[in-house]
Amino acid sequence: MSNCTTVTEFLLLGFSDTRELQILHFVIFLAAYLAALVGNLLVLTVVTTDHHLHSPMYYFLANLSILDLGSISVIVPKSMANSLLNTRTISYAGCVAQVFYLLLFCTAGVALLTIMAFDRYVAICKPLHYEIIMNRRACVQMAASAWAAGAINSAMHTGNTFSLPFCHSNIINQFFCEVPQLLKLSCSDTYRRELAAIVFTAFLGLGCFVFIVVSYVRIFTAVWSIPSEQGRQKAFSTCIPHLIVVSLFVSTAGIAYTKPVSDSPSRLDLLAAVLYCVVPPLMNPVIYSMRNKEIQAALRKLQVLPKNNMCIFSS
């Protein structure tokens, strides 16, 4: 403990030390960020302005767009600025903010995807009781509970992580502040300190995953019992976008967190982080707008899509 010093800043791992590749990284991240920004803002705009979209499903979709905007805005602009300015530094306070807000948005996103699965279950399996169960007050409470779960989980991890002394190094082998990488820099025993937060996160994540799986098992069972093929297709079309989004998030996050934390800079770590931090916020609005007739109709009203744009699935 005598070797511990007060850390005032951290050094983030860059994608390259070559200036040309740094500019390329800046351009690629800028394009991805602007696409995610435009896509999610369009979803928010059509959901809030079109009264046909004032329903529980689109209310939760608007919340998901806010979470996507937050999660990608926490890390991508800083990474772009570092590449453009040829620097790797991030302040201690900036690192704390990155960890807190990224965990907040990601955890709340998982909880919200679980709520959206419940919404589809009620709509398909209990259609006569849908308006009673998914009333305005219940929807607000569900969305608030997702944000609250994200805030609790984020506060636990952030508080536990940054209450530890950092003395091994201030170099983070990632392009943003990531909790596993930060724990490697601590010179104290981190296991007990992180145990409560890890248990809470595992319980929340596992509970959400099991709930989603059970919901879709019951949804598919109910859909296959529909005698009309057109009715089955319509029911499936309302679930497909959400199921794709869940699969995208689970697969990218699984790749990132099932691999061991490396002790040296790894391009695989950078790629895995891009997959779960950048790709889902970029793809979610595309998935929902491309496979949802009501959103496409609202976008055509805003003159975003051509009038002759065809849609195979309806919501």
Give the pLDDT band (50/70/90) at residue 226: confident
**pLDDT tens digits, one per residue of 15-71:** 778 888 889 999 999 999 999 999 999 999 988 888 888 889 899 999 999 999 999
Q: What pLDDT sits at residue 34?
A: 95
- Over residues 184-209, mean pLDDT: 73
User: Which CATH number is 9-301 given?
Assistant: 1.20.1070.10
Q: What pLDDT sits at residue 70?
A: 95
**pLDDT tens digits, one per residue of 243-290:** 888 887 777 666 666 665 555 656 777 777 888 788 889 888 888 776
CA geometry: angle 118, 119, 120, nearest 5 deg? 90
In the predicted model, what is the mean pLDDT of the chain? 82
- Does residue 110 surpass a pLDDT of 70? yes
Give the pLDDT band (50/70/90) at residue 99: very high
Lowest mean pLDDT segment, chosen from 35-49, 89-103, 214-228, 241-255: 241-255
**pLDDT tens digits, one per residue of 235-252:** 777 777 878 888 877 776
